[in-house]
Amino acid sequence: MKLHDLVPNVGAKKKPKRKGLGIAAGQGKTAGRGTKGEGARSGTGGNVYRQGGNLPFYRRLPFMRGEGFTPPNQVTYNEVNLEQLDRFPAGTEVTPELLAQAGMLHKNSNPVVVLGRGEISRVLTIKVQRISKGAQAKIEAAGGKVELIG
């Protein structure tokens, strides 16, 4: 095979549609650009910062004060403290489902984190998505177990 034998596949190279060549062509007169307005003019869409009458983003920045800057993949946890878990009887397996039934979660679809405020005096098995080190130490000191679930 030589360089002069190389050709593109059939149909890979199409001639561009020739617009604005009279009304019979189907793309004449306004050539698909509509009537008047920014999109009908030549040279549109060149300025990245133009926002069509809004104050440009980079000029609004000092005044935005947190609007629109929430991290998109931020996780919001249901916080449960040890003093709240002390209401369950000894030997209970505490899961997010059990906490939801007890009405202790703000939003059932969010994961659960156990925090270390308060004391725990019962032996419990805790199965949650996250737990603080202090809370884990207090639960294990009381004879309980901690399992992290995904």
pLDDT at residue 138 in the model? 94
Report d(CA 44, CA 10) in Å as an integer: 34
Report d(CA 88, CA 8) in Å as an integer: 73
pLDDT at residue 14 in the model? 94
pTM score, two decimals? 0.54
pLDDT at residue 67 in the model? 63
pLDDT at residue 74 in the model? 87
Tokens of 65: 């004060």
Least confident of 9-18, 35-44, 49-58, 126-135: 49-58
Q: Residue 28 pLDDT > 70, yes or no?
A: yes
What pLDDT, in 10s, does the model give residues 86-121? 889 999 999 999 999 999 999 999 999 999 999 998
What pLDDT, in 10s, does the model give residues 29-81? 999 999 998 888 888 776 777 777 888 888 887 776 666 667 778 899 999 99
Q: Which residues contact 57 (CB under 8 A, 6 or more apart)?
A: 49, 51
pLDDT at residue 68 in the model? 63
